[in-house]
Structure 1
Amino acid sequence: MSDQPLIIIVEDEPKIAQILVDFLSMDGFQTLVLHDGKDAVETIQNKAPSAVILDLMLPHKSGLVICEELRQFSDVPILMLTARVDEIDRLMGLNIGADDYVCKPFSVREVVARIKVILRRQNTNNHSQGRILQYKKVCLDLEKHTCTLAGEIIELTPVEFRLLTAFINKPGAVFTRATLMSSCYEDDRIVSARTIDSHMKNLRAKLTDADNGESIFQSVYGVGYKIG
């Protein structure tokens, strides 16, 4: 069996799929292409790839539905492709669990670079030696990538988990939106302040709902956010 990481590409445009295959192969990845969404979830479950590149618009089953179904049983890294830049903020706000988003037309080298970042981040998490972060009633297990509040499991997206990790690592510190962008995304992309606000709104709601209306977050007017 090859020790090359397997990337499954779910993309219905053959030319786009092939160029992704070519560039990923040059960087030492195995690839498997699916041209529609019909059997994507079953195939990903059976093949257990290192990451998935998933188009949003697919025949038979959309990338949105596939991502949501995968997150019911798997934390495989998912890079979603969309044909509209204005979709990215909306998708991030839906909490579907994708790790990253790229808008078409894209630089294939950028896609490969983002896959590498995702895998590097995952490997770091996997080798974190069971580190536990605790703040008041919130507990983060960096190895298992889980969050609990007063013992109750809180389902977080990958971005929400990274945000909460940043806050708990520095309780009392005020984080600007730019700092939070750097905590969430390691590839220096341009992300709107609205996107960060959307993530914070969702994260605050999840923790507040689970804690009888109490919130650990504070908004610092004109600056950003903090806990404590």
Structure 2
Amino acid sequence: MYLRQDGYRVYQAGDGATGLARVRDHDPRLVVLDVGLPGDLDGLDVCRRLRAASDVPIIMLTARDGEIDRVLGLELGADDYVTKPFSPRELVARVRAILRRAEGPREHRSAPLEAGGVTVDTGRREASVNGSPVALATKEFELLQFFAEHPGLALSRRQILDGVWGVDWYGDDRTVDVHVRQLRKKLGDAFALTTVWGIGYRLD
């Protein structure tokens, strides 16, 4: 209801299979996905299938004690999570923030950023390794872009969270570590990111 009041068109689904069908039929700008969906496909299964076919931003809804679900969701490519119970206004704010960063000002096209063998084209929102495109989730791309914009700097996890997730975001610092692990897995040795113990990360 709050999302509709904020001007968004909302498509709902009561189970995973129906949710996947809604995404295929309507091509939404963002998916809000409950980990605890009933039926044969839970939220993590749906996230895995969505990410295999699309880079649509995904916000996971998890239980307060669902740390394993949060970590798994982020590893599967979710962009953010909200812990239940939550304020509907918080969810609306998260949706706004993710869509604002994901869609950005399309008229602005800056030169691609180079980070070792990784090229980050912010205008086209594409990443490539030695000329070969690499499929990244929305938040993975934004994290890579943030590192590429700050080469040689030791960035704390808090700085990274503020720069990529926004200063109004609150959550576990491990969110950064999970996304970094995914970037390293997808980009390989070309992604020259060093762990700075006790601080965070540095792109060399």
Aligned-residue offset at 1:56: 0.9
Q: Is the 8 A contact 1:125 1:143 kept in 2?
A: no
Closer/same/farther in 2, CA of residues 134 and 51 from structure 1, 3 Å limit: same
Q: Is the 8 A contact 1:125 1:142 kept in 2?
A: no
Alignment of 1:77-156 (within 5 A): 77-85=57-65, 86-87=67-68, 89-94=70-75, 96-124=76-104, 126-129=106-109, 131-156=111-136
Q: Is the 8 A contact 1:38 1:59 kept in 2?
A: no
Which stretch of the first structure deviates more once superposed, 117-126 or 81-90? 81-90
Distance in 2 (alpha carbons) for counterparts of 1:127 and 1:78: 25
Which stretch of the first structure deviates more once superposed, 185-194 or 48-57? 185-194
Matched, 1:36 2:15: yes
- TM-score, normalising length from structure 1? 0.78
Structure with more relative contact order (C-alpha pairs < 8 Å, separation 6 or more): 2
SS at match of 1:31: coil
Alpha-carbon RMSD: 2.2
Aligned-residue offset at 1:49: 1.9
Query: What letter matches 1:112 in structure 2?
Result: V
Distance in 2 (alpha carbons) for counterparts of 1:215 and 1:100: 23
Aligned-residue offset at 1:215: 5.2
Query: What letter matches 2:196 in structure 1?
Result: V
Tell me what 1:190 maps to.
Answer: 170
Q: Is the 8 A contact 2:55 2:136 kept in 1?
A: no
Distance in 1 (alpha carbons) for counterparts of 2:168 and 2:69: 16
Distance in 1 (alpha carbons) for counterparts of 2:55 and 2:23: 11
Query: What letter matches 1:90 in structure 2?
Result: V
Q: Which stretches in structure 1 are left out of the alignment for 5+ residues? A: 1-21
Tell me what 2:33 maps to.
Answer: 54
Aligned-residue offset at 1:165: 1.0
Q: Is the 8 A contact 1:92 1:199 kept in 2?
A: no
Aligned-residue offset at 1:223: 2.3
Identity of aligned residues (%): 36
Deviations 1:22-53 (A, max 9, x none): 21122112222211112221221111222221
Closer/same/farther in 2, CA of residues 108 and 136 from structure 1, 3 Å limit: same
- TM-score, normalising length from structure 2? 0.86
The structure with more radius of gyration: 1
Q: Which stretches in structure 2 are left out of the alignment for 5+ residues? A: none
